[in-house]
Structure 1
Amino acid sequence: MQFPVKLYEDVDSWKTIIFLYNSALKEVNTKLEILNDEFQHVHQYNPIEHIKSRIKSAESIVKKLKRNGHESTIENMVEYVNDIAGIRVTCSFTADIYRIAEMIGKQSDLKVLSIKDYIKYPKESGYKSYHMLVAVPIYLSDSVVDTKVEIQIRTIAMDFWASLEHKIYYKFEGNAPDYISRDLKECAEIVSMLDAKMLSLNEAIKKSSQEQIVSNEDKTNFWNQD
């Protein structure tokens, strides 16, 4: 992401950059809401349950830079911290995750910079989610600034697990006992089985509904025969 040089010369450059990240979040959030509304209009179904956005705190940004061996400067923040602006999209079913990711990828004004599929390739901890890093063009009065936003897409069950894992590891400052890590991984496997079962049930319900529609149409056609 390249910011205009004059932004760095502004004494209020921090606020200016946060303004850009906030603007990028608004753009992506609006796109997701429109896609969800359009899906409801065409298919009578909403793939998105919840959308939550956040800007990483200054403290978290500094910690991440130091952890990765970078000096705490605005230039390094923009270059090396990809999740300053983040959006989490929660879905009901795993199939929705890839459906939403595909729709995001087709947005002509968004550039997909990277994809991390932790659903097909979970982290060692058991964490599952689908991460997309996109560049969002922000149109200012005299320039266009491509601004990075990380989009995380996961099911409700995955989000529940990830939220609890975060709280547990925060409490232990990242050094949870081995038995807790093992139990968390076991819970992640249970969550995966739950997601698979719920997806299977949803597919069965859709199939049953379609069969009922066909049956009703056949009955109507029979009674309408001359």
Structure 2
Amino acid sequence: MSMTNYQIEQFKKLKTEVTRFMMMYQFALNELETKIEIVKEEFQFLHDYNPIEHTKSRVKSLESIMNKIGRKGIAFSLEDIKREIKDIAGLRITCSFISDIYRIRDMLQNQFNLHIFEVKDYIEHPKPNGYRSLHLLAEVPVNMSDGSESVCVEIQIRTIAMDFWASLEHKIFYKYNQSVPARLIQELKEASDSANRLDQQMERLHREISVIKENQADDTEELTRLFLNNKAFQLPQALLELGKEAE
């Protein structure tokens, strides 16, 4: 049975609405990634240090969204989907040290006026399986041709060690539908604890080396000041004055 003109128009309208809906989330990620690049350049320029190792972003596929609304019993309405599903757009930021995680959170919130309306700190309070990360839900304003929209983006900020553990844990259990033996769960938890100890050790080393560098800089500045104030340093100028008198 062929489609009527009305059905064709309705299909085109739905397609346009869904396309616009998905584009909003991609534009929100583009906006956030631009802000992250500014953070990286600012740190590199002002502090000669970049706290961000790398970033990764993704927008859920339409198929993945449909599967999720089916599991959660959400009506097929773009407004309902936008209200109920908060991780359609996701940005992962991998940092060098634990302290960088909270520094970047503060910069996103304070310097870029990003509205963060939910925080889940799995670093201070890890999940039972050992998962650690800082999760933020943020509203990102997006300007479309027909108006402005506020789009939710889930931001995950973690260290290299946290990301390493989470990536391997996901690969181990990806598409594994059976119950996981308690022994393996315990081993994964121990591996997470080991990664956390490494993070804590590297954080301590980072702080100690930073203090040493600051002290060295202070010592160099003091030596320079003493050298410039030393009368012996004025000798070349005195010789120049004698040379002028001889002329």
TM-score by length of 1: 0.90
- Match for residue 207 of structure 1? 211
Q: Are 2:44 and 1:11 equivalent residues in the alignment?
A: no
1:217 and 2:214 are equivalent in the alignment: no
Letter in 1 for 2:88: I
Distance, in Å, in 2 between the alignment partners of 1:174 and 1:79 is 32
The structure where helix makes up a greater share of residues is 2
| Change over 3 Å in CA distance of 1:178–1:62 after alignment to 2 | farther
Distance 2:224 2:114 in 1: 48
Instruction: Name the amino acid aligned to 1:160.
Output: F
Please state how far the C-alpha of 1:174 moved relative to its aligned partner: 6.7
Tell me how far apart the structure 1 counterparts of residues 145 and 25 of structure 2 sit (CA, whole Å): 16
Shift of 1:159: 0.3
The one-letter amino acid paired with 2:199 is: D
The reply on whether 1:132 has 2:145 as its aligned counterpart is no
Match of 1:149 among 134, 137, 153: 153
Decide whether the 8 Å contact of 1:87 with 1:151 is kept in 2.
yes
Size of the aligned set, in residue pairs, is 219
Runs of 4+ in structure 1 off by over 4 angstroms are none
Q: Which runs of 5+ in 1 are unaligned?
A: 1-7
Equivalent residues of 2:132, 2:162 under 8 A apart: yes
CA distance, structure 2, for counterparts of residue 64 and residue 118 of structure 1? 23
1:116 alignment partner in structure 2: 120
- The secondary structure found in structure 1 opposite 2:15 is coil
The share of aligned pairs that are identical, in percent, is: 44
Which stretches in structure 2 are left out of the alignment for 5+ residues?
Answer: 1-11, 232-247
Counterpart check, 1:90 vs 2:71: no
Question: Structure 1 residue aligned with 2:57, among 53, 60, 63?
Answer: 53
RMSD value, Cα: 1.9
How far has the Cα of 1:189 moved from its partner?
0.5
Moved more, 108-117 or 64-73: 64-73
Which is further off, 23-32 or 41-50?
Answer: 41-50
Higher mean C-alpha deviation, range 168-177 or range 202-211: 168-177
User: Where does residue 184 of structure 1 map in the other structure?
Assistant: 188
Would the alpha carbon gap of residues 163 and 219 (structure 1) be closer, same or farther in structure 2, given more than 3 Å must change?
same
Rg larger for? 2
Q: Which amino acid aligns with 1:209?
A: K
| Aligned with residue 107 of structure 2, among 88, 103, 108 | 103
CA contact 1:169–1:175 (8 Å) conserved in 2: no
For residues 62-81 of structure 1, the aligned pairs below 5 Å read: 62-81=66-85
> Paired residue for 1:38?
42
If asked which structure has higher relative contact order (CA below 8 Å, sep 6+), I would say 1
Distance, in Å, in 2 between the alignment partners of 1:170 and 1:34 is: 35
**Measured at CA, do residues 85 and 22 of structure 1 come closer, stay the same or move farther in structure 2, by a change above 3 Å?**
same
Deviates more, 1:63-72 or 1:85-94: 63-72
Contact 1:21-1:147 at 8 Å conserved across structures: yes
Cα-to-partner distance string for 1:68-91 (whole Å, 9 max, x where unaligned): 333454333212111110000000
Do 2:35 and 2:112's aligned partners in 1 also have CA atoms closer than 8 Å?
Answer: no
Change (3 A) 1:204 1:155: same
